[in-house]
Structure 1
Amino acid sequence: MEQDIINEYTRAGQLAGQQADKFKKLANTYSLLRLGLFALMIFAVYLTITQDTFTIMAIAFVLLLAGFAWLVSRQGEYERQRDYYLNLQRINENEISSLQSNANLYNNGQRFSNEKHFYTSDLDIFGNASLFQLINRTATSAGNNKLASWLDAPADKSTILFRQQAVKELATKNEWKKELQTLLLFAKDEDLNRLNNLFKYLQMPLNLSGERWLDIYAKIAPYLLIAAIIGAVFYPPVKGVAIFIALANMGIVFSKAAYIRKADLIADKIGKMLGSYANVFNKIESQDWHGAYNLSLAKKLKDDQTSIKIKELSKLIDKLNYHLNIIVGVLLNAFLLWDIRQIIAIENWKRTNSANLEVAFDVIAEFEALISIAVPSINYPEWVTPIISGTGGYTLTATNIAHPLIRSEKRVDNNYDLRDTFKIDIITGSNMAGKSTFLRTIGINTVLALSGANVCASAMELSVITIVSYMRIKDSLNESTSTFKAELDRLQMLLAAVVQEHRVFFLIDEMLRGTNSMDKYLGSKAVIEQLIAKKGVGMVATHDLQIARLEDKYPDYVRNYYFDIQVLNGEMLFDYKIKHGECKTFNASLLLKQIGIEVGAE
Structure 2
Amino acid sequence: MNEPTIDSHGAEEAVARYQSQLETITAKSDALVAKDRLLGKFRVVLFLGAIVFWIVGYTSDGIAGAGWIGWLMLAAFFVVATMNEPIRDSIDELKRHRSVFERLIARLQRNWEALATKRLTHQLSLVELAGHRREVAGDLDLLGRASLFHLVSMAATTPGIRTLADWLSGPAVAEVAQERAEAVDALAPMREQRLRFYTLAREVGDSTGDPEHFTDWATGDTWLTHRGWLKAWAKASTVITILLILGLVLGSALSVPAVIFKASLVALIALIAINLLITTTVLGPAHGIFSIAMANRRMVGDYEEIFSAADWLPKSNASDASVLSRIRNQMVDGDRCAVEGMRSLQRVAKAGGLRQSAGTFLLYLPLQAFGLWDVWVLDRLEQWQSHYRDQVASWFAALGELEALVSIAALRDDYPGWGHATWHRDASTAVVKAKAIGHPLLKDGDRVRNDVQVGPPGTLLLVTGSNMSGKSTMLRSIGLNVALAGIGAPVCAGALETASVELATSIRVSDDVSQGVSFYMAELKRLKSVVDQARRMAQINDRVCLFLLDEILQGTNSRERQIAVVQVLRHLMDSRSIGAITTHDLELADEPELQSIATTVHFRETIRPDAEGNEQMTFDYQMREGVSPTTNALRLLEMVGLGK
**Structure 2 match to 1:283:** 309
Instruction: Give, in angstroms, the shift of residue 415 of structure 1.
Output: 0.6
Instruction: Give, in angstroms, the shift of residue 499 of structure 1.
Output: 2.1
> Do 1:118 and 1:467's aligned partners in 2 also have CA atoms closer than 8 Å?
no
Separation (CA, whole Å) in 1 of partners of 2:577 and 2:325: 40
SS of the residue 2:447 aligns to: coil
Q: How many pairs are equivalent?
A: 589
> Do 1:41 and 1:64's aligned partners in 2 also have CA atoms closer than 8 Å?
no
Matched AA of 2:378: I
Quick one: structure 1 residues 216 and 179, their matched pair in 2 at CA, closer, same or farther if it must change by over 3 Å? farther
SS of the residue 1:505 aligns to: strand
**Structure 1 match to 2:540:** none
> Do 2:15 and 2:105's aligned partners in 1 also have CA atoms closer than 8 Å?
yes
Separation (CA, whole Å) in 1 of partners of 2:89 and 2:642: 66
> What whole-Å deviation, never above 9, does each CA across 1:377-399 have from its counterpart, x for those lacking one?
13323222211221331121111
**Structure 1 match to 2:341:** 309
User: Is 1:11 aligned with 2:11?
Assistant: no
**Structure 2 match to 1:319:** 351
Matched AA of 2:120: N
TM-score normalised by length of structure 2:
0.78
Instruction: Give, in angstroms, the shift of residue 462 of structure 1.
Output: 0.4
Counterparts of 1:12-31 in structure 2, within 5 Å, are 12-21=21-30
> Do 2:222 and 2:382's aligned partners in 1 also have CA atoms closer than 8 Å?
no
Counterparts of 1:371-390 in structure 2, within 5 Å, are 371-390=406-425
**Structure 2 match to 1:54:** none
SS of the residue 2:179 aligns to: helix
SS of the residue 2:479 aligns to: helix
**Structure 1 match to 2:364:** 329
Separation (CA, whole Å) in 2 of partners of 1:525 and 1:243: 92
> What whole-Å deviation, never above 9, does each CA across 1:273-316 have from its counterpart, x for those lacking one?
22211111111235445692112112112222422432442343
Instruction: Give, in angstroms, the shift of residue 513 of structure 1.
Output: 0.6
**Structure 2 match to 1:439:** 475
> Do 1:84 and 1:183's aligned partners in 2 also have CA atoms closer than 8 Å?
no
SS of the residue 1:122 aligns to: helix
Matched AA of 1:559: T
**Structure 2 match to 1:596:** 641
**Structure 2 match to 1:414:** 450
Aligned counterpart in structure 1 of residue 324 of structure 2, from 264, 286, 294: 294
Quick one: structure 1 residues 458 and 538, their matched pair in 2 at CA, closer, same or farther if it must change by over 3 Å? same
**Structure 1 match to 2:231:** 211
Separation (CA, whole Å) in 2 of partners of 1:183 and 1:33: 31
Instruction: Give, in angstroms, the shift of residue 434 of structure 1.
Output: 0.9
Aligned counterpart in structure 2 of residue 579 of structure 1, from 624, 630, 633: 624
SS of the residue 1:121 aligns to: helix
Listed as ranges, the gaps of 5+ residues in structure 2 are 1-8, 61-66, 538-542, 610-614
**Structure 2 match to 1:53:** none
> Do 1:532 and 1:557's aligned partners in 2 also have CA atoms closer than 8 Å?
no
Counterparts of 1:544-563 in structure 2, within 5 Å, are 544-550=585-591, 557-563=597-603
Separation (CA, whole Å) in 2 of partners of 1:561 and 1:249: 86
**Structure 1 match to 2:146:** 129
> What whole-Å deviation, never above 9, does each CA across 1:24-49 have from its counterpart, x for those lacking one?
56767887679969988999999999
Counterparts of 1:91-240 in structure 2, within 5 Å, are 91-100=100-109, 101-102=111-112, 103-104=114-115, 105=117, 107-108=120-121, 109-112=124-127, 117-188=134-205, 195-196=212-213, 199-200=216-217, 203-206=221-224, 207-209=227-229, 211=231, 214=234
Greater CA drift, 12-21 or 456-465: 12-21
- More RCO (CA 8 Å, sep 6+): 2
Separation (CA, whole Å) in 1 of partners of 2:608 and 2:393: 64
Structure 1 runs of 4+ off > 6 angstroms? 25-31, 37-50, 63-74, 219-239, 241-246, 334-337
Kindly report the root-mean-square deviation, in angstroms, between the aligned alpha carbons of the 2 structures: 4.2
Matched AA of 2:581: V
Quick one: structure 1 residues 286 and 442, their matched pair in 2 at CA, closer, same or farther if it must change by over 3 Å? closer
Aligned counterpart in structure 2 of residue 404 of structure 1, from 437, 440, 464: 440
Separation (CA, whole Å) in 2 of partners of 1:64 and 1:216: 49
Greater CA drift, 319-328 or 126-135: 319-328
> Do 2:230 and 2:375's aligned partners in 1 also have CA atoms closer than 8 Å?
no
Quick one: structure 1 residues 358 and 259, their matched pair in 2 at CA, closer, same or farther if it must change by over 3 Å? farther
> What whole-Å deviation, never above 9, does each CA across 1:408-451 have from its counterpart, x for those lacking one?
11111111134755421211111111111111111111111112
Quick one: structure 1 residues 373 and 579, their matched pair in 2 at CA, closer, same or farther if it must change by over 3 Å? same
Separation (CA, whole Å) in 2 of partners of 1:167 and 1:82: 31
Quick one: structure 1 residues 414 and 592, their matched pair in 2 at CA, closer, same or farther if it must change by over 3 Å? same
Separation (CA, whole Å) in 2 of partners of 1:583 and 1:65: 84
> Do 1:320 and 1:339's aligned partners in 2 also have CA atoms closer than 8 Å?
yes
Aligned counterpart in structure 1 of residue 548 of structure 2, from 504, 507, 514: 507
**Structure 2 match to 1:567:** 607
Matched AA of 2:300: L
Instruction: Give, in angstroms, the shift of residue 138 of structure 1.
Output: 2.4
> Do 1:168 and 1:374's aligned partners in 2 also have CA atoms closer than 8 Å?
yes
Instruction: Give, in angstroms, the shift of residue 561 of structure 1.
Output: 0.8
Listed as ranges, the gaps of 5+ residues in structure 1 are 51-56
SS of the residue 1:347 aligns to: helix
Separation (CA, whole Å) in 2 of partners of 1:404 and 1:359: 32
> Do 2:173 and 2:501's aligned partners in 1 also have CA atoms closer than 8 Å?
no
Separation (CA, whole Å) in 2 of partners of 1:8 and 1:491: 47
> Do 2:455 and 2:579's aligned partners in 1 also have CA atoms closer than 8 Å?
no
User: Is 1:346 aligned with 2:381?
Assistant: yes
Q: Equivalent pairs: percent with the same residue?
A: 24
Quick one: structure 1 residues 368 and 347, their matched pair in 2 at CA, closer, same or farther if it must change by over 3 Å? same
Separation (CA, whole Å) in 1 of partners of 2:475 and 2:15: 30
Quick one: structure 1 residues 247 and 361, their matched pair in 2 at CA, closer, same or farther if it must change by over 3 Å? farther
**Structure 2 match to 1:267:** 290
TM-score normalised by length of structure 1:
0.83
> Do 1:470 and 1:509's aligned partners in 2 also have CA atoms closer than 8 Å?
yes
